[in-house]
Copies of this chain bind each other. A is one copy, B any other.
């Protein structure tokens, strides 16, 4: 396999570039995505490469961005819309939820809405309560939407390419603190990661840990530490948060009998709860040896002060503690 090292940011850009080259129906829209390259520089250079016809800067009008994307998708194009920060999708929820997610169903399948909404998410940048949310749980409660959340550059590329090719509206959660992280990314033309397939990041036998986003990187750290102590953790990354491929999780829990779920977004009402519920209502409940341990972000808005913000999301230490708890080792 032809691999190249690059950042998560570059991998996303490469996915868009390749899909734009492949399919003339793909176009980009968003605020300052041209010369400026977007607030996080993800689209940098794409205006030069593809021109103003396909890389469209918009006024600050989030509802119009999402609705315009949906209308163009309904008529045959494949828009990729960027919200400058995920928090601003609050301004586009009607277009996304009442229109993009529902037009296919309401029309009995006569239209489809192949579009992607990219959402730079998460805390950790000192940007405060209105620029740091991860709202994925909302979208995982909206039938008609799909939700992706890549954690590595390779996943970012492979999932974004699939999302662009998918014939449904896909909410694509990107993590601001991952943009600079680097990794090897396949260069094959046909490299994609299919949606709705969970991925086993690491095999193990003592306990199942489900995680994604920046929390996954901390989980991996924690699991490496624990490996030194002879604890063997299986890590599953759902990749697509909705609809979620639960089978690998069920199988793993049946094998390990213990489950820890870790994510950065607020714990209460978060996607972790849904996973815990799915396990607790499944027959793999009968295999569980101890309560499920769910670790999430604090149930507070995100503060600016560094020492406060740092507490928002779980780190490797907290995760290791959670794993000990699930193993009955605390």
Interface residue ranges, A against B (CB under 8 Å): 63, 87-88, 90-91, 93-94, 96-98, 101-102, 105-106, 128-130, 135, 137-138, 140-144, 242-243, 265-266, 268-283, 285-286, 288, 290-294, 299-301, 303
In the complex, are the beta carbons of A268 and B242 less than 8 A apart?
yes
A130-B102, A303-B105 as given contacts; A294 in contact with B269, CB under 8 Å:
no
Docked Cα-Cα span, A79 to B294, in Å, equals: 37
In the complex, are the beta carbons of B129 and A106 less than 8 A apart?
yes
Oligomer: number of copies = 2
In the complex, are the beta carbons of A291 and B286 less than 8 A apart?
yes
From the candidates B98, B101, B268, B291, name the one contacting A282 in the complex (CB within 8 A): B291
From the candidates B143, B269, B292, B303, name the one contacting A266 in the complex (CB within 8 A): B143
> Residue on B with the closest CB to A93?
B90
> Residue on B with the closest CB to A265?
B141
Docked Cα-Cα span, A284 to B24, in Å, equals: 56
In the complex, are the beta carbons of A141 and B281 less than 8 A apart?
no
> Residue on B with the closest CB to A294?
B281
In the complex, are the beta carbons of B277 and A273 less than 8 A apart?
yes
In the complex, are the beta carbons of B280 and A292 less than 8 A apart?
yes
Docked Cα-Cα span, A256 to B293, in Å, equals: 22
- Residues of B within 8 Å of A97, CB to CB, are 90
A276-B280, A285-B292, A292-B281 as given contacts; A266 in contact with B301, CB under 8 Å:
no
Q: Could you tell me the distance in whole angstroms from the C-beta of A90 to the nearest C-beta in chain B?
A: 4
- Residues of B within 8 Å of A272, CB to CB, are 277
In the complex, are the beta carbons of B269 and A137 less than 8 A apart?
yes
In the complex, are the beta carbons of B269 and A140 less than 8 A apart?
yes
A105-B129, A280-B276 as given contacts; A268 in contact with B90, CB under 8 Å:
no
Docked Cα-Cα span, A294 to B143, in Å, equals: 18
In the complex, are the beta carbons of A291 and B283 less than 8 A apart?
yes
From the candidates B96, B274, B290, B301, name the one contacting A269 in the complex (CB within 8 A): B274
In the complex, are the beta carbons of A98 and B87 less than 8 A apart?
yes
Docked Cα-Cα span, A303 to B104, in Å, equals: 12
Q: Could you tell me the distance in whole angstroms from the C-beta of A307 to the nearest C-beta in chain B?
A: 15
In the complex, are the beta carbons of B269 and A271 less than 8 A apart?
yes
- Residues of B within 8 Å of A285, CB to CB, are 288, 290-292
Docked Cα-Cα span, A292 to B88, in Å, equals: 36
